[in-house]
Amino acid sequence: MLSLRPLLVVASSVFALVSCQTTPPAQPDRFADADTNKDGLLNGTEINNYFVSGIFTERDTNHDGVITKAEWNPEMDAAEGKLFDARDTNKDGKVTLAEAEAHALKAGTYSSVIKEADTNKDGSVSREEAKAYYASKEGPAR
């Protein structure tokens, strides 16, 4: 086990060299990802689905495309169970991405984000509006 240590040191300095020589990877274009119909604007559904799919992917720990009660919350209580059941519209014990998106859209979970970001109130969020919205938030610019 002791002999592993020098190896790790070598590995990390090689990595440091490599990362110095390569240009940093381009920032992922989150706006383009969210703009699923590619019209250059984010409508309410696109924003809703973007946020929901991010959370969905995080919760779907085994990446099978559905969230079970165990994935939703390992310590499921009655209140959490109700939240889960509200999303599981076909009552098969699993929440699909489509079910989660439809629920958030109906519940208006992200409508305040959309309202806040849509500064010219035309019902959709332009790239400039999205930039300004994120710039107004704490944390690294994204």
Positions that interact with Ca ion (CB under 5 A)? 35, 37, 39, 41, 60, 62, 64, 71, 88, 90, 92, 94
Q: Give me the residue whose beta carbon is nearest to Ca ion.
A: 60
Contacts of 136 (CB under 8 A, 6+ apart): none
**Nearer residue to Ca ion within complex by CB, 15 or 65:** 65
Cβ atoms 95, 66 nearer than 8 A = yes
Least separation in angstroms between CB 3 and Ca ion = 40
**Nearer residue to Ca ion within complex by CB, 97 or 134:** 97
Contacts of 62 (CB under 8 A, 6+ apart): 71
**Nearer residue to Ca ion within complex by CB, 15 or 40:** 40
State the Cα–Cα distance between residues 91 and 86, nearest whole angstrom: 9
Least separation in angstroms between CB 112 and Ca ion = 19
Least separation in angstroms between CB 61 and Ca ion = 6
State the Cα–Cα distance between residues 94 and 97, nearest whole angstrom: 10
How is residue 56 written in tokens?
């969905």
